[in-house]
Structure formats: structure tokens, C-alpha cells
Structure 1
Amino acid sequence: MEKTPHYESYVEILREELIPAMGCTEPIAIALAAAKARQALGMLPETCRVEVSGNIIKNVKAVTVPNTGGLKGIEAATAAGVVAGRPELELEVLSQVTPEEIAAIGAFLKDHEIRVLPMQGDRVFYINVTLLAGGHSACCEIMDYHTNITRIQRDEQVLFRKTPETDEEQEQTDRSVLSIEEIIRFADCLDPQDVEEVLGRQIEYNSAISEQGLQGGWGAEVGRTLLTVYGDNVAIRAKAAAAAGSDARMSGCELPVGIGSGIRNTGMSGSGNQGMTASLPVITYARDRGASREELLRALAVADLVTIHQKTGIGRLSAFCGAVSAGCGAAAGVAYLLGGRYDVIAHTIANTLAICAGMICDGAKPSCAAKIAAAVDAGLLGYEMYMHGGHEFVGGEGIIQKGVENTIGNVGRLAREGMRKTDQEILDIMVGR
């Protein structure tokens, strides 16, 4: 089959988005900055200063940092990066922490000052960790996305600065080439070998952490509760699989996940939760029907790219819950796996967004698992509505507009522009202002 016009770009987008990360990605990014700053300082710091944007505060406050003995928050992430971070591992910076280092992290947190300062300005994603000791200082600054280090400095010497030239070299593939119609045609003509490495890793990592969540003992056990209360049909198992991955991840499980779009981690969009939400329902349905590896990879490509496409207009961090975009992506992937193509998938997306596009993001925490279950449920309902009688929500009803791309654009506008004040109010409530 002839390849689509942007075939290579689509493959590259998947490679850029689907990278491994351990733990919730915002605290891991803080740990990465702290580890880089410690490396530049060359000694254990006496005091630490962490300047972060509001969305970082929101997404780190209530989540457990992996390999810290159950510690939560910005101070814990900073201490972990300083004491035990392996900066060369980027988003797996805390993946090799030893038991002795876990004890040292707790001791450092108890005995050293770590000041957290809100960043002044309206940048959504900003981290700057400054360490001081022996009359010297060192800092590492990260902007816009989790691994985008823009400056490393020791005293007055700038050791690294991201210039326009290096930005151009590292610029990500243009996401504006994405469309629902071409995503489906891309999946139809996909050579599975082109995505086996990245999607295979996503399947392996996300399945493993989901299994951990289903074994129990993590978070509010949303995944286990779904199976216990509602039974064992494939739709319930799909929701439970995604929720269980978040149960474990938000509570500090020391396994990496594939994130997704905003998809970084073997997750997306810089979000492991979104990567799990988009992928695990598709994986569950594929296993249930005995689908081939090739069928699974094609459907997973649809789920991931539909999620990335939606998140491109929304932005990496927002008051709009990313589980909605990923639940929508998961339903699109399931629809593709079950034989649906453009008409079915477009209506599935529109129906899903009509159902749950108002869900807010109030930070990373155990309740994300329940939101994930709700988003996947909405996606599967949107699909079944159309498959059983062609039922649909149509243009002019709320934010739904004729043409799936127009509806996706409306949701991006709602999340990016309309929910700015909501985002600030959420943060004010969380910090008691």
C-alpha cells in the first residue's frame, strides 16, 4: 500500500513522544534538574532553592516520588535528585536508587533547607533548581517540557545554554500535519517494523505497571474495584487496566511507563497517565479477541496519534484533564481494532468529547485513576452509541461542531484559552490562597 504524505513525520512523532519515565513526570523533571545542578556544583549542597510554575506545583504536591520510601512533593523530588539522581538517565533519573540512598534522601530532607518559590510570570512549565554550598552555587533550568534543559550554570560560568541554533537542531516534528483522516490512513499502510521498538516498549512497560496496580495495595485501588464490582467483560477490563496503571504510578510504583502529548515517558504529552490511558484499553481488547501483533500495533498507533493530535491544541499542562484526550484516543484505537475506519472513529471522538470534555485537572494524585476510568468509559460509550443505531451528538450542540477537526479545535480553544482562570483558581484552592 502506498504510504501517506506525512508517513515519516508520523513515525517520528511517535518516537519523540513515547519515551520511558519512572514516576509522575513533573516530580521526575524536578529530580532531573536537581541531579544536573548537583553534578555542576560538584558537592552536596547546604541549601536548595526551587523555583517552579503553578502547574508544576499542582502536579507534584500530592504525588509519591518513586524510590524515596513513600515521600511526596517538590522537596522530596529535589532531595531525591540531589542525593541519588543519575542525570544521564533523564526521565529515569531515579531508576537506580539504592536502599542506602533512600535513607540518605530522608536524612537530607530533614537536615537541609529546601525553599520552594512560585515563578513570577505566565509560563506554564518552568523549573529552576539552585543549589548552594561552600560559597558556590549551581542551577539547572528546564522550560516547556520535561527534558528541555535550557541552562546549567556554576557560579557565574554558564556550562550549558540552549541557543536558537540548538533549539533548531532539536526541534520536534511539526504536529500540525496530524489529522484524523491521515492518522487512519497511516495505520492502514503502516510497516509494523517502523514502530515495533517504541510501541513494543509501550506495551511491555504499561502492561507491567497495570499488573502491579491490579495486584492491589496502590492508591485507592480503582482498577481492582472496577473488576470486583462490575465483573469481567472486556470493557470493564479495559477501564480497569488503565486505572490500575495510574493507581500504581501515582502512589510511587518503581516501574517505568510509556507516556504520551503531550506524550513523554512510555506515556504521552509528557504524561505517563495519558500514555497508559491511550494504550492499555487497546491492548486489553487486542488480547481479548486474539488480535495479531500487527493488528495491535496499527490500532495502538491510532490511539496514540489521536491523543497527541488533541493534546497539540490543548498544550502540555492545562486545567483540562488529559485523561479525556487519552480516553478518546483509546476509544479510537479500539474502534480501529474492531474494524471501524474514518466515519466510525470520527463519530466516536465527537461523542466522547461531548460527554466528558469538562473534566478538570487538579493535579497528579491517586484520584487520576478514577478520572481515567471515567474517560475510557466515555470513549467506549461514544463508540457503542454510534455502532448501535448511528447515534451521535451533532454540530451546534454545545462545543460540538460539524467536522471532527473543528470539534477538536474547539476543545483545544476551551482548554487553552477558556480554562486559564480555572487553572489559577484550582492552584489557589490547592495551596490555600
Structure 2
Amino acid sequence: MYSVKEILRMEVAPALGCTEPVAIALCSAAAASLLSDTENIKSIEVGLDPNLYKNALAVAIPGTNGKSGLNLAVALGIIIKNPELKLEILSLADDKVLKAAEELVKKGIIKVNLLNDKKGIYIDTKIITDVESSRAIIENYHNNITALYKNGEKIVNDSLLSEVKENKKSIAEMEKWLSSLDLDDLIDLLDDLDEEDYTFIKEGVDTNMALAEYGLKHGPGLGVGLAIERMVRQKLISKDMETDARIYTSSAADARMSGVSLPAMSSAGSGNHGLTAILPIWIVKKYVQVNEKEVYKAIALSHIVTAYIKSFTGRLSAVCGCSIAAGAGASAGIAYLLGGSQKHIGGAIKNVVQDLAGVICDGAKAGCSLKLATAGGSAVRSALLSLQGIIAQSSDGIIGGTAEDTMKNMGKISTEGMIDTDRTILNIMIEKQFNV
């Protein structure tokens, strides 16, 4: 059994930049940190699982002035060479680091391989210099360093291994336990929240609101949030609870996907999941009379439901987890915040799944802000409809008799039903790269 505090600490953490290129940089940094000299590197070979390859291919990397690329992510990690920073490793990326990384890329010694046989998150980085070699492997979770080698010999005792491995083993065990619960159990976990938890949740709100406010002020990336706000000012649309949620959620994604050097508070291993899980709920509170602790409870429920769904779908898949997992989490939180019963909360989850089940993940990129705008709006609308008694029926498509069955069905679609879809998406993306 796990406490709500343990769940939040395992599933919610700050991350700077899209977590896939960050994970690549982290793995490269871990390998580089084992070397006494990284000035005379002869070759760098990196193997990536298909989903991580897909999500890291085209998204902007923090500290690079909007640049992207797998090779650049690898090079940045080697130049920074500080894996202790974990998912905030790119906080050290500046113009000097970028110049050095680009010079390393120009040498043509970095080779990135697509490992089609790997499932789940997998990164294998090998570095060879004139006199020594190193290797680092990340598996299952973005900062889960499972193996380190120097000159072909496996390293058993290393702080990077002992600290992270123990934590991630707990995550796997926790998610297995979490998946065995029902919705009532998830709601009951909120009873154990304490002041420390409220402070931690508020930190997530502040972190993600900073991204949203930057996006609204500067309109980076695709500029979806700022465009919707502009349409409100032009009286082309009106601002209400749903529109406001779309504005802030997409604005934060605009900033994050353009590589702005501001962290996101992630949820279930994804920064964009964190934006969707938190921001719509925080915006809804502006329209209702609730005390702040109830808002924090709603956000905690959102994180828990998001983690619950991801325990079935996996961390990366062919479906957009920001829409399905975090969108459902946010809708559950909103229904809770508005005084909904277990029936309303479960109905909100069903409504989001019925609404957004077909949204595919075609990699991380600027266009994710469009998907987050959709997810943020659907989270609000689905909760409001559920509170009015409008709930997707169990006779409809993939909707199960319960919210739990519905979420498990999404897991089957993600892990069984969309394997060919995922492969086709990646092939299209790779073909585009070669045709540029």
C-alpha cells in the first residue's frame, strides 16, 4: 500500500524541456561522466526505442534558441556532463554549451539507431575515445539509469544507479498496486493529504502557470493560447470556463514546446501531462466559490487518475496521453472540485475517453499546443456534462460499464490495438526528415 504523498512524489516532478530529448541528454551525460576525457571522442552510438525516437525527433530543446534534433540532444548531454541534475539537466544549456554541442554534431561521429524491437522507454548510449569507453542505459522511465559500464566492465556501485534504481523500482510496484484499485479508492486517498502535500501541489501550479503566462505574453511556438485570447478580445468568441482552460493549457504548451527555459511540473513522467493535469483545474477555480485546499485536492486526484490510466497505457504510446490520461485526470479533478459524486467523477472520465480516444501521438512538437487546447477544453466540458447527467453509455464503443473498465480499455487500445498505427506514424515522420 502506498500513501498519497508517496504517489505524488513518484509521479510528479519538475522537468525542463520535453522529457524525451531531456532523457537522451541525461543518458549521454551519464555515459560521459564516466570518462576522464571527452575531448578526444572517436564515436558515439545511441539506440532508442520507437516511441522515444518519435517524441524526441522534432521538438525544440531548451537553451538552443528553438533548435531540435536527436544528435543535438546527445551532444548537449555529453557537453553538460552533469547527470546529477536528472530531468533538469538542460538548465545548464546556454550559448557556450550550444556552440560546443553543435561542433560535436558537425564532427559526424554521432550515430542514432532506431531499435524497433524495444518496447517502453529505452536509451543505450555508448561513447568511445582514444583510450577508454563508457556506456549508459535508461529503461522504463525517463531518468531510470539501469546500467553503467566503463571499458566494458559493469559498474555496480554508483550514486546514479543506487538512487534512481531504488526509486523507479518503487514506481513500478506502486503503479501495479494503483492499477488494482477502484475509483472510490482513488478518491479516498485524498483524505491523507497534509500541509506538505498542499505546498508541493501549489509548487506545481506556480511552475506551470509561469509557463502559461510566458506563452500568453510572448506567443512562442505555434502561439495557440495567445491566438485564442486574441479572438476573445476581438469578440469572435466569448471567454468562459472552457475557453479559459484552453487558453492557459495551450499557452503553457506553446512555451514548453518552443524550448523556453522554464521547467514544467510533470505528471506520470511527462511535462505536457502535467500542464493538462493541473492548469484546467486551476482556471476553473476562478469561476466558482471554493477554498484553495479543495483545489489542491482536485489537482491531487487529477495526478492520481492520470497515473492510474498510464499504468495501463504505458508511458509512451500511439495515443496522446495528454488528451486521454491527463485530460481524463483533469476532468475527474474538475468534477470533484464542483462537488460531484463518484458517479459524476467517473462520468467525466468516460466522457473524455469517448471524446478524445482517437487522438494520436505523432511526436512532441509545437503542434502539441493544439492538442492541449483540445484536452483542456474537453476536461472542463466533460465534467460539466457529467454533472448535468450526460455520461457516455457503456453500450457505446470502448466505454466500459465503469470508469475503471473504460480506462483499462484505453490501455488495451494503446498497448495492443495501435501497434501498426504507431509504426506508421513514425515511418511518416522519418520520411519527412529525409525529404527535407
How high is the TM-score relative to the length of structure 1? 0.91
Residues 85, 238 of structure 1: CA spacing in aligned structure 2 closer, same or farther, 3 A cutoff?
Answer: farther
- Report what 1:35 is aligned to: 29
The answer to whether residue 45 in structure 2 is matched with residue 49 in structure 1 is yes
Residues 419, 169 of structure 1: CA spacing in aligned structure 2 closer, same or farther, 3 A cutoff?
Answer: closer
Greater alpha carbon shift after TM alignment, 177-186 vs 131-140: 177-186
Assess if the C-alpha contact under 8 Å between 2:276 and 2:372 holds in 1. yes
Assess if the C-alpha contact under 8 Å between 1:175 and 1:309 holds in 2. yes
SS of aligned partner of 1:411: helix
- Report what 1:203 is aligned to: 205
| Alignment map for 1:221-370 (pairs within 5 Å) | 221-229=223-231, 230-260=237-267, 263=268, 270-289=269-288, 291-324=290-323, 325-370=325-370
The answer to whether residue 402 in structure 2 is matched with residue 406 in structure 1 is no
Alignment partner for residue 80 of structure 1, among 76, 79, 92? 76
Alpha-carbon distance in 2 for matches of 1:16, 1:256: 17
Shift of 1:110: 2.0
Residue 88 of structure 2 aligns with an amino acid whose one-letter code is E
Shift of 1:76: 0.9
SS of aligned partner of 2:92: coil
- Report what 1:180 is aligned to: 183
Shift of 1:239: 1.3
Alpha-carbon distance in 2 for matches of 1:216, 1:291: 31
Alpha-carbon distance in 1 for matches of 2:116, 2:403: 37
Residues 250, 169 of structure 1: CA spacing in aligned structure 2 closer, same or farther, 3 A cutoff?
Answer: closer
Shift of 1:169: 8.6
Alpha-carbon distance in 1 for matches of 2:49, 2:396: 36
SS of aligned partner of 1:116: strand
Alignment partner for residue 133 of structure 1, among 116, 123, 129? 129
Deviation per CA, 1:179-213: give whole Å up to 9, x if none: 321222222x2433141343122112111111111
Shift of 1:116: 0.9
- Report what 2:3 is aligned to: 9
Shift of 1:159: 2.1
Assess if the C-alpha contact under 8 Å between 1:47 and 1:131 holds in 2. yes
Assess if the C-alpha contact under 8 Å between 2:120 and 2:314 holds in 1. no
SS of aligned partner of 1:211: helix
Deviation per CA, 1:305-363: give whole Å up to 9, x if none: 11111111101110011022211111111111111121111111111111111111111
Assess if the C-alpha contact under 8 Å between 2:33 and 2:82 holds in 1. no
Assess if the C-alpha contact under 8 Å between 2:64 and 2:94 holds in 1. no
Deviation per CA, 1:51-84: give whole Å up to 9, x if none: 1111111001110111123220211101111112
Alignment partner for residue 90 of structure 2, among 94, 100, 106? 94
Alpha-carbon distance in 2 for matches of 1:212, 1:142: 32
Assess if the C-alpha contact under 8 Å between 2:33 and 2:81 holds in 1. no
The answer to whether residue 378 in structure 2 is matched with residue 375 in structure 1 is no
Shift of 1:425: 1.3
Shift of 1:216: 2.5
Shift of 1:226: 1.8
Alpha-carbon distance in 1 for matches of 2:156, 2:50: 25
Alpha-carbon distance in 1 for matches of 2:32, 2:421: 36
Alpha-carbon distance in 1 for matches of 2:136, 2:83: 11
Shift of 1:140: 0.8
Greater alpha carbon shift after TM alignment, 346-355 vs 224-233: 224-233
Residues 401, 79 of structure 1: CA spacing in aligned structure 2 closer, same or farther, 3 A cutoff?
Answer: same
Residue 107 of structure 2 aligns with an amino acid whose one-letter code is D
Assess if the C-alpha contact under 8 Å between 1:239 and 1:376 holds in 2. yes
Assess if the C-alpha contact under 8 Å between 1:62 and 1:364 holds in 2. yes
Residue 182 of structure 1 aligns with an amino acid whose one-letter code is D
The answer to whether residue 6 in structure 2 is matched with residue 22 in structure 1 is no
How high is the TM-score relative to the length of structure 2? 0.90
Deviation per CA, 1:291-318: give whole Å up to 9, x if none: 4331121111111111111111101110
Residue 401 of structure 1 aligns with an amino acid whose one-letter code is G
Shift of 1:410: 1.1
Assess if the C-alpha contact under 8 Å between 2:51 and 2:120 holds in 1. yes
Alpha-carbon distance in 2 for matches of 1:81, 1:197: 32
Deviation per CA, 1:81-102: give whole Å up to 9, x if none: 1112421111111112343222
Shift of 1:177: 4.5
Assess if the C-alpha contact under 8 Å between 2:280 and 2:380 holds in 1. no
Alignment partner for residue 219 of structure 1, among 221, 226, 230? 221
Shift of 1:122: 3.2
Residues 129, 313 of structure 1: CA spacing in aligned structure 2 closer, same or farther, 3 A cutoff?
Answer: same
- Report what 1:105 is aligned to: 101
Alpha-carbon distance in 2 for matches of 1:129, 1:14: 30
Deviation per CA, 1:364-416: give whole Å up to 9, x if none: 1111111111122222222222333x222211111112111111111111111
Alpha-carbon distance in 2 for matches of 1:275, 1:160: 34
- Report what 1:117 is aligned to: 113
Residue 313 of structure 1 aligns with an amino acid whose one-letter code is F
Shift of 1:47: 2.6
CA RMSD of aligned residues (A): 2.1
